[in-house]
Homo-oligomer: A and B are copies of this chain.
Amino acid sequence: MNDVVAARAEPVRPTLKPIRLIDEKGAPVKGAERAGFTLPSPEVLLGLYRRMVMARRFDVQVTALTRQGRLATYPSALGQEGCEIGAVSSLGENDWLFPTYRDSVALLTRGVPPVQILSSFRGEWHMGFDPYEHRISPQATPLATQALHAVGLATGAKLKGDEVVALTLLGDGATSEGDAHEAFNFASVWQAPVVFVVQNNGYAISVPFSKQSHARTLADHAIGYGMPGYFVDGNDVAAMYAVTSAAVQNARAGGGPTLIEGLTYRIESHTNSDDPTRYRSPHEVAQWRQRDPIARLETYLRASGALSDALFDEIAAAAEQLAAATRDAMNTEPVLDPLELFDHVYATERPALREQREYLARELAAAEPAPADVSSTESISTASGSIA
């Protein structure tokens, strides 16, 4: 026992300051803050830039559509593009992504069409894309639950001998759930090819990080699982990409899981229905707007000469096109078949469910213009008549 324990080498220890390759002013970082990571090539950085611009435009568009009532809800990732895009861009084609409700732009980056991403937020069905086509699991709502699915899938791939890595995104709040712990632990014990990316955006709805954790950094959790942990500036897409890519490569090479914390900020409200003025100051938001991940990379790329005005305009135009396509897509009301409620519950047919399906079919067939609304004021008066 004693020996078993002592024999385990200490894994990479998260740094106290977040790893950074490009600083908040857009200048390349030198020295210790890089923690040994190097700046990706200009081509890669331009690709990340393009993806972030597209993501931002998409996000802004969808938020606007949501305010217009075209979607039931939409959790924006505005301000988190560095974290989202940096992380998800590290994945290969055969790798899997396990996202949350917050990560629509990660799906966009991986090629899921807007109309399919937004299907669930429009309230049509619980999800709108084919997980196998895109190698993306449904966007999880129950917090931290998807992290275990990622570990399971990665382990399944490993058992089958496939070189597949699973990356899962988690919020800072989600790390408090028991499932996050179980996922970290199963992954490290099984040495599963998984990368955990915690997007610490400062809040879980209204609850600030200081009430969520007493840790120096959430990446410190890695130590307790004997896995490498990295604390990264989540608004530096270059750093997020570099660190996540290294973790993906390490996982693919059999090196097991990695925990990465990206420090970022949710600029928008939690969802359209949230009221952030109740729990944070405009000053704080303004400060974080200064640390915009896109502006930062743009400054760097322009300074380094990689981003010309022409390219800038081309990308901006592509983003506008995406926004227009997204608006158009939301203009088309999909035809929903109520009877589909019954069709996917079981693989094996059930007579009793068929009966219920037939019941609804009859009801729909019989449906005429809705009957007059009979307001039952009287009867509720009776109810309150019994009030002491």
Contact = CB atoms under 8 A, between A and B. Distances in A.
A225 B216 contact: no
B1 A18 contact: no
A210 B7 CA distance: 11
A185 interface: yes
Given A211-B189, A224-B223, A226-B213, A18 B2 contact: yes
A365 interface: no
Contacts of A176: 182, 185
Given A1-B263, A8-B214, A8-B215, A223 B226 contact: no
B213 A185 contact: yes
Contacts of A217: 5
A284 to B, nearest CB: 8
Interface in A208-232: 209-218, 220-227
Interface residues of A, number: 44
A163 interface: no
Assembly stoichiometry (copies): 2
Contact of A224 (B188, B209, B221): B221
Contacts of A181: 178, 180-182
Nearest to A183: B178
B216 A10 contact: yes
A209 B224 CA distance: 14
A53 B178 CA distance: 38
A6 interface: yes
Contacts of A188: 213-215
A257 B80 CA distance: 33
Interface string A1-17: 11011101010000011
A212 to B, nearest CB: 7
Given A176-B185, A216-B10, A226-B220, A265 B1 contact: yes
A201 to B, nearest CB: 9
Interface in A7-45: 8, 10, 16-18
Given A8-B216, A214-B227, A215-B225, A182 B189 contact: no
A358 interface: no
Nearest to A203: B1
A256 B214 CA distance: 11
A184 to B, nearest CB: 9
Interface string A220-253: 1111111100000000000000000000000000
Given A1-B200, A181-B181, 9 more contacts: A177-B182, A185-B213, A188-B214, A189-B212, A213-B225, A214-B227, A220-B224, A222-B224, A223-B223
Which 10 residue pairs spanning A and B have beta carbons closest together?
A178-B178, A181-B181, A221-B224, A188-B214, A214-B226, A215-B226, A8-B216, A224-B224, A223-B223, A220-B224
20 contacts: A1-B200, A1-B202, A1-B209, A2-B18, A5-B216, A8-B215, A10-B216, A178-B178, A185-B214, A188-B214, A189-B211, A189-B212, A189-B214, A191-B214, A213-B225, A213-B226, A214-B226, A218-B224, A222-B224, A223-B224
